[in-house]
Amino acid sequence: MKFTCNRQKLNEAVGNVQRAVASKSTLPALEGILVKAFENKIYLSGYDLEIGITTSLEADIVTEGSVVINAKLFSDILKRMPEDKITIRTDEKLIIYLNSGKVDYKIIGIDASEYPELPTVADTDSISINGESLQSMIRQTIYAISDNDAKPVNKGSLFEINNNTIRIVSVDGFRLAIRTETIQYNGTKSFIVPGKTLSEVIKLINDDSQNVTISAGGRHIIFRIEEYSIITRLIEGEFMNYKAAIPSSNSTSMKVSTRKFIDSIDRMSLLLTEKLKTPIRCCIEDGYIKTSCKTALGQAYDEFEAEIEGNDIEIGFNNKYMLDALRNTETDEVIIKLNGPFSPITIFPTEGEDFIFLVLPVRLKNDR
């Protein structure tokens, strides 16, 4: 194998593909990147048996072939090469020669036959969605994915596609995030995508991305983003009945400045540490939201105006969970609905239901 290509483009591609490479494996090939050269392109693959990332870029192919190169070493070399062009070739002993300007490297490669084959998914029933919309949907729901192994289905997001609507749902037992968009797809699909995969998807979507194609099979799914493909194993299991968790009524509703509420919770959070955990006390009355916090470090109080309808209420919540929800609304104002001190706090946009965020309250002690 021998080819020449743009070093900077190769470096960028290797950096992206490298994120799917296993850091430690009993199979040395999985710690490398599979490089294939044929038909005026080079093809790169990283795969850790759970998630795979592939891409291609144009190159001047002298001799077709393939080899596995240690990912970390490959990336480090590319970053330090001095010229715009790089030439890479291999010999019959799998020695890899890398040249850029006056700099030469000679490293040991691995036979491509030792690299496991990536899963495939048929494109017969693909879904197309605007890249920016998908990125926004994932970003606004990924915070509520669980990092606990107790319920594996909660370590991913539920994708529900039905009647030209796509909905992404994440839950971790303490909060729930739902995000909805309109797409052109008449069918019905439902699957659970690992959170790790979704993190990689939003990294690969950039401002130039037009559409992302999603192809879901029985056990695997592929996200195609321009020249990149991300393939991953779907999470099996029964996702919670999230619709039943959304309160059907409310006794208190308020229109709130998102920034004012975030700032108020931030002020209370100064008294909270990993060792000093206590809920933020929130009293809603007389057209004001009044927050307070009391720990061994001291106590704090704040208040700000809001448009409030319904009953006065005092409720407690976890500062981090509430901040995560408010920050991910990405709107200047929100509607917050409450139905007593023990019912979930629900957060909506001021118009429509593009997102619904739920935060479970925390029972307050009687001391003030």
Residue 174 and residue 86 in one domain: no
Read off the DSSP letter of residue 266. Answer: H
* Model pLDDT, residue 148: 84
pLDDT interval class at 209 (50, 70, 90): low
Looking at residues 116-142, what average pLDDT do you find? 92
Residue 224 and residue 155 in one domain: yes
Q: Does any domain span residue 120?
A: no
Looking at residues 127-131, what average pLDDT do you find? 94
Looking at residues 94-115, what average pLDDT do you find? 96
Residue 212 and residue 302 in one domain: no
Residue 18 and residue 58 in one domain: yes
Q: Which of 83, 114, 145 is the last residue of a domain?
A: 114
Residue 273 and residue 301 in one domain: yes
- Please give the Cα distance from 261 to 357 (Å, whole number): 15
- Please give the Cα distance from 146 to 346 (Å, whole number): 19
Q: Does any domain span residue 121?
A: no
Q: Which of 46, 81, 114 is the last residue of a domain?
A: 114
Q: Does any domain span residue 10?
A: yes
* Model pLDDT, residue 208: 66
Residue 345 and residue 319 in one domain: yes
Residue 252 and residue 355 in one domain: yes
- Please give the Cα distance from 363 to 148 (Å, whole number): 23
Q: Does any domain span residue 367?
A: no
Between helix 195-204 and helix 131-139 the angle, nearest 10°, is 140
Q: How many CB atoms lie within 10 A of CB 258?
A: 17
Using one digit for the tens of pLDDT, what is the confidence trace for 72-85?
999 999 999 999 99
The number of distinct structural domains making up the chain is 3
Checking if the pLDDT of 367 tops 60, the result is no
The CATH number of whichever domain residue 192 belongs to comes to: 3.10.150.10
Q: Does any domain span residue 366?
A: no
Using one digit for the tens of pLDDT, what is the confidence trace for 327-354?
999 999 999 999 999 999 999 999 988 9
Residue 354 and residue 258 in one domain: yes
What DSSP assignment string belongs to 34-73?
A: EEEEETTEEEEEEE-SSEEEEEEEE-EEEE-EEEEEEHHH
Counting every residue written for the chain, the total comes to 368
Using one digit for the tens of pLDDT, what is the confidence trace for 24-40?
888 999 999 999 999 99
Residue 294 and residue 320 in one domain: yes
Residue 219 and residue 269 in one domain: no
Residue 236 and residue 254 in one domain: no
Q: Does any domain span residue 56?
A: yes
Give the range among 106-120, 154-168, 202-216 with minimum mean pLDDT. 202-216
* Share of residues in the chain with pLDDT > 70 (%): 99
* Model pLDDT, residue 275: 85
What residues make up the domain containing 63? 2-114
Residue whose C-alpha is closest to residue 74's, from 117, 15, 152, 147: 15
Looking at residues 219-242, what average pLDDT do you find? 95
Answer yes or no: are the C-beta atoms of 333 and 255 closer than 8 Å: yes
Q: Which of 91, 114, 137 is the last residue of a domain?
A: 114
Q: Does any domain span residue 232?
A: yes
Residue 105 and residue 13 in one domain: yes
Residue whose C-alpha is closest to residue 193's, from 165, 162, 215: 215
Q: Does any domain span residue 74?
A: yes
